[in-house]
Chains A and B, each alone.
Chain A
Amino acid sequence: MQQAELLHGLSPHDAEELLKIGTRMTLKRGTVLFELGSPADSVYIVTQSRLSLTLPMMVRGREENVLIEERQTGQALGWSALIPPNRFTLTASAPFGAEVLRIPREVLAGHLTARPEVGYIVMRNVAEIVGQRLQVFQAMWLREMQRVVELSAAREASA
C-alpha cells in the first residue's frame, strides 16, 4: 500500500501515518462508490481490484453510464475532495467488487496542515495525477476532433 501513487516520495513512516487515518471499505460487485455531482467528502485509494469511472451518455435514446477511465490497485480517486467546489465530476463503481481505503477530507486536511512537508508531497502527487489525466484527455480529445474533421470533409465531398 505504501507504493500507492498518492504516497510517492513519502518516507515509510509518513506513509504509514497517512494510511492509518483511512478506513478500509469492501465494495460488493456493482456498488456505486460515489455519483457525479455528489459532495466529495473523501479521497480513496484502491487497495484491491479496480473501479470504473463513468459519465452518463445518451445511447439510442437511453441514458447509459459510459466508461471514461479505470483506477487500479494503488491508484487514487476522488481527488475532487481536495479541490473546490468539492463535487465529484464522475461516477465511480466497482463492476467486479473491490476494496478501497477511504480517507475523509477533513481528517486528511487536518493531517496535511499539521505536517506541511507531508502535505507538500501529497499535493504534488495530486497535481501529477490531475496533470496526467489532463494530458491523456487532451490527446484523446484531439484524436476525436481529427475524426470529426475527417467525417465533415467526407460529408462535404459527398454532398
Chain B
Amino acid sequence: MEMLLMGVTLSLLGVAVSAGLFMAATRDVRTTGQNAGLEPLPEPEPSQFFAPSVTPMARPIVSVDVLLLQIERHVRMEQAAAESFMAMPTVEMLHMPTASPLVH
C-alpha cells in the first residue's frame, strides 16, 4: 500500500514539474518573439469597402535604422550575386536567390 502511494505521489510530482517547464518554455518563446529594434505592430485598421479581400501578411515594422541596415545587406548580397553571374553567366546564376530579409 505504501509503495503504491509513493508511486502515485512521484507520478503527480513528475506531471507538475513537466507542466511548470512547459509553461516556462512557452513564456520564453513569447518574450523572444518581440525582438529589440522592432516597433510594435500597429492596430489592424477597420476593413473598407475597397480593401482587398485577402488579409495582408503580418510583417513586423522595423525601425528606420534597422531598415537601412537591411537595405545595406541586401545591396551587398545582390552585388555579390551579380558578380557571381558575371563570373559564370547562366540563367540560373542570374536568378540565384539570396538570403536578403527584404525579399523574404
Contact = CB atoms under 8 A, between A and B. Distances in A.
Q: Are the chains A and B members of one assembly?
A: yes
Interface of A: 57, 59-60, 62, 64, 66-70, 132, 135-137, 139-140, 142-144, 146-147, 158-159
B79 A69 contact: yes
A135 B6 CA distance: 77
Contact of A140 (B52, B54, B64, B79): B79
Nearest to A64: B68
Q: How large is the interface on B (under 10, 10 to 19, 20 to 34, 35 or more residues)?
A: 20 to 34
A144 B77 CA distance: 12
A123 B85 CA distance: 26
Contacts of A140: 78-79, 81-82
Interface in B65-90: 67-68, 71-72, 75-76, 78-79, 81-83, 85-86
B71 A66 contact: yes
A123 B95 CA distance: 33
B16 interface: no
B75 A143 contact: no
Nearest to B82: A139
